[in-house]
Structure 1
Amino acid sequence: MAAVMYNFKPYPSDNDVGMAAEALVTSHPCLKEPGSVSGWYGWKMSLKFKMGDYRGKLSRSGCLEVSVNAGKRSKNNPDKDHPHSNIKRARRAEVNFLPNFPKGESQASLEEMRLQIMDEVQKSQQNLRLIEMLMQKTFALRRQEIIQENPQVKDFLGKWPALRIESQLCAEFQRITNVNLRNKFYAVLDQHTPGLMALYRQKAARTGKISEALRDIFKIYDLQVS
């Protein structure tokens, strides 16, 4: 159960754990607690502890997604941050939150790839295929830098100039969320187009250079529609 829950969320909320406990009892009625109002409250508390133990095992095995939150306050280190403060966890859309480095790669080797990317971006004839391959390999290094160091956007783009390339910006979005940015953008834009058209028509009815330009655009648009 802990492993399955972790695949959805490494840090489930109280409601999430309750839903998992309820689903467990619903699928296996023999596990329902006699005398309990809900029939699964004890399982909920048990799963909370199980999730903590499971995250501890993953942290000790080197899983960055949970080990990034290790080293909090304990009996041996009473001066450190509270265990439940400033927890670094994935947001709703982040599928690849903090992956481990690719097999056989280290921070030093990935840093060399980053420098190679910077050299390639500065060339007049960029090898986009090489940039794509290097950006894919160094994805874990960027995520580690973002989550652990929380850099300024200007400084981060200075270290990773390939993210100024449109294709790489879309590729990075898909690496994080598994969502195609262009398709998502155009789909949502189609939903809001009628409202935007009405808003721009109101603007076109006013006076000024911008309104005049909008009127000319709408004249062409209306001719095409008719």
Structure 2
Amino acid sequence: MDTEDFDLFCKVSCNGIYITQSLPIIFACLKEPGSVSGWYGWKMSLKFKMGDYRGKLSRSGCLEVSVNAGKRSKNYPDKEHPHSNIKRARRAEVNFLPNLPKEESQASLEEMRLQIMDEVQKSQQNLRLIEKLMQKTFAIRRLEIIQENPQVKDFLGKWPALRIESQLCAEFQRITNVNLRNQFYAVLDQHTPRLMALYRQKAARTGKISEALRDILKIYELQEVHDVNMKRTLALRALPVYLREEDPQFFKTWNVEESDEPGIIDTPVALVTAVTEDTADPVNFSPASICIVVEDDVTMSDIPNLADAFALLIGLMYALHLDYPKKLINTFTFIQKIIMGLDDGKALKPRLLSLKNDLLME
């Protein structure tokens, strides 16, 4: 293989087609003598080529690479470690930290931000104008989120358009190139019948988890109407129970007849369901409304059902680069990888892999 062919191979490999291990098997002449694997030399060569390539990207001003530049090294031992205080792409984000538009500057983008704030405050919002300005200012928002790590309430105060459902969905698509609502509802509806069957199988057994699932299914059967929203609510509400996860601080209930405001003190992330005495039940299949709480702040409100609330919460977690609730890691990983199809390349935990295989069974 000459130099040009090797450079082409490196470019192909760097773009995600990792064929380093298979080439020596397919072409025996390429196997490295004296190497146990037969491709160790290829691997190291690609590693150094990628290092040189990242160096060029960093010097050219590529933010996704230069964000780690200038940190601790032999020449600067007192500086921060390259991995400290830096939020990295970890959930299959396509546009994690894009560069600013070439024709725009920090000052011009700041003017657009102020224009967005003025437009959002109007009684009749120009959603097309907001969409256009949000698209242009996308890079500056990502830069602020990743490098400055602001408080959610302060950040949404500067970018109030992210409280609008359509703009939140658009922001999610800018980050992942995936349509939030279409993907979420299509795959959830596809797996809901099988999930319900698995819940019933588990509920027929003995144990604490089975008993909790029986209670949820019993409430579902008592509902007068079993429409698509009811089935989605059942699938999502029983999912953490099936995965043996429990976080009473995440699913909260607010009786609107007893208090004017929900109790959200010391609440990192939660779905707060507003109910009345007539609609109150342990699962809340018929809520008055649902609101999303992030860092003790009602981020979005007046959401009609649990499925919409989950979809918008996923959008917020990507738009604000939030961590998943610690006690519901498997639940949100399932939504990310199985429902949204955003695979980060990491292997699924055994519990999730077992559920995935069960869903794929006929």
Which TM-score band applies after superposition, normalised by the shorter structure? Answer: 0.7 to 0.9
Q: Is contact 1:3-1:54 (8 Å) kept?
A: no
CA distance in 1, matches of 2:55, 2:87: 15
TM-score (norm 2): 0.51
Measured after TM superposition, the shift of residue 30 of structure 1 is 3.9
Residue 346 of structure 2: aligned partner: none
Match of 1:202, SS state, is helix
For residue 127 of structure 1, what is the amino acid of its counterpart? N
Task: Give the aligned residue type for 1:203.
Answer: I
Q: Secondary structure at the match of 1:142?
A: helix
More strand by share: 2
Contact preservation (8 Å) 1:21, 1:41:
no
Displacement of 1:192 after TM fit? 4.7
Structure 1 gap ranges (5+): 9-15, 206-213, 222-226
Bigger shift: residues 68-77 or 137-146? 68-77
Q: Say if 2:68 and 2:83, in contact at 8 Å, map to a contact too.
A: no
Query: What residue number does 2:232 align with?
Result: none
Using the aligned pairs only, state the percent identity.
Answer: 80
Deviations 1:131-179 (A, max 9, x none): 0100000010111111111122222111111111111111111000000
- Correspondence for 1:33: 32
Compute the displacement of 1:191 (Å): 3.5
Matches of 1:23 and 1:92, distance apart in 2 = 27
Residues 48 and 193 (structure 1), Cα distance of their counterparts in 2 relative to 1, 3 Å cut: same
CA contact (8 A) 1:118 1:162 kept: yes
Alignment of structure 1 residues 73-152 onto 2, 5 Å: 73-83=72-82, 88-152=87-151
Following the alignment from structure 1 to structure 2, what is the Cα–Cα distance between the partners of residues 191 and 99? 34
Structure 2 unaligned segments of length 5 or more: list them. Answer: 1-8, 201-212, 230-362
Partner of 2:155: 156
Shift in alpha-carbon separation, 1:21–1:84, aligned structure 2, 3 A = farther
Which position in structure 2 is the counterpart of 1:183?
Answer: 182
Matched residue pairs, number? 203
Evaluate the alpha carbon distance shift between residue 218 and residue 100 of structure 1 in structure 2; reply closer, same or farther with a 3 A threshold: closer
Q: Which one-letter code corresponds to 1:108 in the other structure?
A: A
Distance 1:25 1:140, change over 3 A: farther
Q: Aligned with 1:22: secondary structure?
A: coil
The residue aligned with 1:211 is none
Q: SS of the counterpart of 2:224?
A: helix
CA shift for structure 1 position 59? 0.2
CA spacing shift, 1:113–1:51, aligned 2, 3 Å: same
Structure in which a larger fraction of residues adopt helix: 1
Given that 1:69 and 1:88 are in contact with CA atoms closer than 8 Å, whether structure 2 keeps it comes out as: no
Give TM-score, length-normalised by structure 1.
0.78
In the alignment, the residues of structure 2 paired with residue 149 and residue 28 of structure 1 have an alpha-carbon distance, to the nearest angstrom, of 49
